[in-house]
Amino acid sequence: MQHHARNWTAAVLLGAGLAFGTYAHAAGDGQKQSVGEYVSDATITTKVKAAFVADKSLSALDIAAQTDNGVVTLTGTVGTEAQTEQAARLARDVEGVKQVKNDIKVDPAKAK
């Protein structure tokens, strides 16, 4: 009896995988992003923001990150050029990032 149950479970999982693969492929046709790409972009953005929070030299509140197809765009205003470079470096180090567009502005009045 266990052998039949195991085969049935494998068949269900395989069928679900094939159905999902077909759906994911169909969803990507003719659309800008597939569901998988959207999740990946959201995950990348979350990891970039977490890296900013973890870095004591940056204020995560001063820098916004947005990801589109693996390209991270950074915006906001920081106090020094070194902070813009550090933010870009942290973003580049996140897995899945293909490119970083650094549009962060420097305002010396914000320097700590």
Q: What is the pLDDT of residues 4-37, one digit of tens each?
A: 444 444 444 334 343 444 334 434 444 455 555 5
Q: Are residues 22 and 60 in the same domain?
A: no
Strand partners, 102: 74
Structural domain count, the chain: 2
User: So what's the pLDDT on residue 55?
Assistant: 96
CB 78 within 8 A of CB 90: no
Q: Are residues 51 and 1 in the same domain?
A: no
Q: Are residues 70 and 91 in the same domain?
A: yes
- Residue 13 or residue 93, greater confidence: 93
Residue ranges making up the domain that contains 97: 34-110
Among candidate residues 76, 64, 82, the one with its CA nearest the CA of residue 105: 76
CB 80 within 8 A of CB 111: yes
Among candidate residues 53, 107, 48, the one with its CA nearest the CA of residue 78: 107
Instruction: Provide the CATH number for the domain around residue 96.
Output: 3.30.1340.30
8-state DSSP, 65: E
What whole-number percentage of the chain has pLDDT above 90? Answer: 60
- Residue 79 or residue 8, greater confidence: 79
Query: What is d(CA 101, CA 1) in angstroms, rounded to the nearest whole number?
Result: 58
Q: Are residues 22 and 38 in the same domain?
A: no
Q: Are residues 44 and 12 in the same domain?
A: no
Taking each helix axis as running N to C, give the angle between helix 81-92 and helix 35-54, from 0 to 180 degrees, rounded to the nearest 10: 140
Query: What is d(CA 12, CA 55) in angstroms, rounded to the nearest whole number?
Result: 45
CB 72 within 8 A of CB 65: yes
What would the pLDDT profile of 34-72 be if each residue is shown by its tens digit? 555 555 899 999 999 999 999 999 998 999 999 999 999
